[in-house]
Amino acid sequence: MKYFSLLWLSLAVLIAGCSAGASGTLQPEKDNYEAKVEYHSVQIRSKLSLVDMRQRKVGDLLQVSVDLKNERQKTIEFQYQFRFYDKDGFEVGTEGRPWAPLVIVGKDTQTVQATAPNPSAVQFKIAVRD
């Protein structure tokens, strides 16, 4: 009976460990969020903050999603651009990803997302400017 309990316990620990590994590996650490944003001015940095981000592999392509919060009471208009990098830090698919306009009303949060241009992309950054 004791052996059975031990067996179940080991199995449960093993399953928990596996699931944490599968879902946790790709997510960026909260402390690392600021490194993912490139603010192009002090003004935009004071108005906008990155409150959450998620990333996953869809097939073999990296898909990212970023929550941006307007810290002001007033509506803000700005532009953002996603940039993807391969494992060696080279930018992937440099052509044609535009500075997309975005409007966020006061104190609201909006999610923006993008998919990597090809499977070699493993890292990303989001640039924001006025």
Could you tell me where the DSSP H helices lie in 59-105? none
H/E element holding 12?
Answer: helix 2-24
CB of 95 to other proteins, least distance (A): 8
Alpha carbons 85 and 59: distance in angstroms, whole number: 18
Give which of 35, 58, 70, 40 is closest to 113, Cα–Cα. 58
- 62 phi and psi, to 5 degrees? -80, 125
CB-nearer residue toward other proteins: 28 or 117: 117
CB of 36 to other proteins, least distance (A): 18
- Among the listed ranges 3-11, 31-39, 46-54, 109-117, the one in contact with other proteins (CB under 8 A) is 109-117
Alpha carbons 78 and 82: distance in angstroms, whole number: 14
CB-nearer residue toward other proteins: 49 or 81: 81
In the list 66, 114, 126, 128, the residue contacting other proteins (rule: CB under 8 A) is 114
Map the footprint of other proteins across residues 19-78, applying CB under 8 A: 58-59, 61, 63
Query: Would you count residue 118 as binding other proteins (CB under 8 A)?
Result: yes
